[in-house]
Amino acid sequence: LPQSRDHLASWNPGPTKEAIVEFVNTVTTEGGPAFVPKQERVAVFDNDGTLWCEKPYYTQLAFVLDRVRALSEDHPAWRHEEPFAAILQRNRERLSQFTEHEASALVAATHAGLTPEEFRRTAGNWLEGARHPRFQHSYKQCAFRPMLDLLEYLRANDFKTYIVSGGAIDFVRAFSDEVYGIPPEQVLGSSIMNRFELRGDHAILVREPEVGSIDEGEGKPINIERHIGRHPIFAAGNSDGDLQMLQYTASRKPGFSLLVHHDDEAREYAYDRRSRVGRLDDALRVATENRWPIVSMRADWKVIF
């Protein structure tokens, strides 16, 4: 790897970029005190708000809303049945107040009944056409350019990059390879239950209207252990739901945890402590106390998309 090439050209010079480069140099220097063999160079990334934009709402929610609208022709009763009615009436206030029970009903209605392959195709097709309401380009172009460069930089240094998302694993798998270069087997996420079914000799899996596991908070390091079986040496997140994954990674020596702080209202969004989606409070405090590098999107990133 020629040292002269700047893989992080989309990052402004400064302490955050320096810390990343120094860490990567340290763990890849053979014979050095903190050298890490290639197979142990595991890097884990949250998705929503870390790798791509999560405002004004999660992309997966936009998909769910559009699915409800698309499916509503076959479900005339939904016009009078919550939470579907609120969606069909585009009642923004109600949308932001859905209970957990209502959210589950939405997942059941829009995510279940298909095979995993069918679901990924459905989500992939939707992503082809859907547009971000503010930026007016595809959601797939809402990935942060500096994070794409960071993924490439780590892979060029023989890191294996994983997504560890609180979102639905199959939704993320529908685009992770195309957008991030991360194949489905390196995506962890929240999951719904699958049922094994024999149709004659033909065995299939069918998605059930039931949540399997939630990949958030303490669930992130637990899922990492189960899925990867290695302790990550690099982690990036942007919200309190990522805190435990960042703590877990920072507890390994060497280990590097990076917190993305949305402080750029002009180019993207600015939010932290009081945000409903992507709340960043405890993790910001712990990152500051532990001197984990904190990305200021405004100061550290030359471009956003």
Which residues are at the interface with its own copies (CB under 8 A)? 39, 116-117, 160, 169-170, 173, 183-185, 187, 191, 194, 196, 198, 201-205, 212, 218, 221-222, 225-231, 244, 247-248, 250-251, 290
- Minimum gap (Å) between residue 220 Cβ and its own copies: 9
Contacts 24+ apart (CB under 8 A), 125-132: 126/63, 126/66, 126/67, 127/63, 127/174, 127/175, 130/59, 130/62, 130/63, 130/66, 132/53
- Nearer residue to its own copies within complex by CB, 52 or 248: 248
- Nearer residue to its own copies within complex by CB, 58 or 248: 248
**How far is 114 from 132, CA to CA, in rounded Å?**
26
- Nearer residue to its own copies within complex by CB, 124 or 135: 124
**Who's near 165: CB < 8 A, 6+ residues apart?**
46, 47, 48, 172, 187, 188, 189, 190, 215
- Minimum gap (Å) between residue 251 Cβ and its own copies: 5
**How far is 150 from 287, CA to CA, in rounded Å?**
20
Residue 166: which of 269, 263, 44 has the closest Cα?
44
- Minimum gap (Å) between residue 197 Cβ and its own copies: 9
- Minimum gap (Å) between residue 124 Cβ and its own copies: 13
- Nearer residue to its own copies within complex by CB, 74 or 201: 201
- Report the relative pairing of strands 256-263 and 294-296 from DSSP bridges: parallel
First to last CA, the chain: 26
- Minimum gap (Å) between residue 203 Cβ and its own copies: 4
How many residues belong to the chain? 305
- Minimum gap (Å) between residue 286 Cβ and its own copies: 8
- Nearer residue to its own copies within complex by CB, 53 or 224: 224
- Nearer residue to its own copies within complex by CB, 49 or 221: 221
- 270 with 281: CB under 8 angstroms? no
- Nearer residue to its own copies within complex by CB, 179 or 304: 179
Q: Report residue 127 as tokens.
A: 């992503």
- Minimum gap (Å) between residue 167 Cβ and its own copies: 14
- Minimum gap (Å) between residue 134 Cβ and its own copies: 31
